[in-house]
Amino acid sequence: MNPIIEEIALDKFDLSLAEMRIINPEWVVRIQDSMWLHGQLQPLVVRLNEGKYQVIDGIKRVHAATELIMETLQCYVLDVDLKQAKLLVLSYNRPHQSMEVWEEAMVLDDLSKKHDLTQQSLSRLTGYSRSWVSRRLSLVSKIDEQIVSEIKMGVISSSHARALIKLPRGNQVEVACAITSHGLTSRQSAALVEAFLAAENQDKQRHILAHPETVFKDREPEVPRDIYDPRLSRYGNNLMNSTQYVLSTIKHMLWCLDDKRFGALKETEEIVIGPEIEKVQGRAETLIKEITHLLINKHVNQDER
C-alpha cells in the first residue's frame, strides 16, 4: 500500500464504520478546540468506497471539522477492502490506545459475524492473543442490546458497562438508568451492582436503585488511628502504622480522583493542584522502587542461607 494525501470535501466522507465507535461529545469538543487553534495536525485515513471515502481513522476529526464549518480535510487514501479497513481501525488506534475496550469488542464482533472469522483468525490478523480476542467477544455477548446503543452514544461509559455485565440481561437496563439518572462514577456503579446482586428480594433491589447513595455514602476512606501490637517492636509498630496511613491516603486520593467533580476543575485550580499531583506521582514511583529493591534483596538473602 502506497498511500497518497488528498484534500477531500466533507460531504464526500462515508462514516459507516462509526457504527463500531463511541462518539464521546467531550472528546469531539477537545479535538474541535485543537483544530480551531492549530488546524488539522494529522491526516485522516480513508478508502475509496462506492464513490465516497470511507473513514478508517479520524471520525472524531470529521465531526469536529463539521462543527467548525471546514470545507475539506487532508487524508491518506488507502487501497484496501472492507475487511482490511476494519482491521486497520484496530491497528491505527493501538499505539496510543485511543480505543475503549467496547470499541475493540464491537470491531472484533463485527469481523467475526460479517466476515466469518474465527477467534484464531482474529488473533492472527490483529496480532493480539487469542485470550485477548476471546475476552472482548465475551463482553458483547453478555450485554443487553439497549445498553450497547447507549454505549455507542456515549450515555454509558465502558467502565460502567463492565460493571453492568455482571448482572442478568433482564436487570441491566434498570440499573443503567439508575447510574445515569444519579450521575454515578464507575466505582459507585460497581458498588451499586454488587449491592443489587446481594439484595435479598426485589423490594430491596428497588430501594437500592431509588436511593443508591445508601450503598456508598460511607465508602469514603477514614484516616486510621495509631495502633499498637504487642507482638511488634517499637520500630515494627511504627512501620505498621506507616503502612496503614499510606494505604488510607491512597484510598482517599483514589476516591477523590474518581469523583466526577475532578473533571470540572477550573483552570486556576488545575494550575495549583497539578504540580502537587506530579509530586505524588514522583514519590509513589520512589516508594515502589524502594519496596521492590528491599523485597528483591530479602529474597536473595533468604536464598543464600
* Chain-centre distance for alpha carbon 75: 27
pLDDT at position 196: 92
pLDDT at position 40: 92
Phi and psi at 77, nearest 5°, equal: -105, 115
Q: Which CATH number fits domain 1-93: 3.30.70.260, 3.30.530.20, 3.40.50.300, 3.90.1530.10?
A: 3.90.1530.10
Instruction: State how far the Cα of 255 lies from the Cα of 253, in Å rounded to an integer.
Output: 5
pLDDT at position 2: 64
pLDDT at position 262: 72
**Cell numbers 470540572: residue:** 264
74: nearest Cα among 36, 95, 46, 34:
46
Query: Under 8 Å CB-to-CB from 164, ≥6 apart: which residues?
Result: 143, 147, 156, 172, 175, 176, 179, 189, 193
pTM: 0.60
Low-confidence ranges of the chain (pLDDT < 70): 1-2, 95-98, 217-225, 259-261, 297-305
pLDDT at position 305: 43
pLDDT at position 16: 93
* Strand ranges (E), 36-131: 44-49, 52-57, 72-78
pLDDT at position 203: 92
Residue 97's identity, in one-letter code, is Q
Q: What is the DSSP string of 94-112?
A: TTTT-S-HHHHHHHHHHHH
pLDDT at position 300: 46
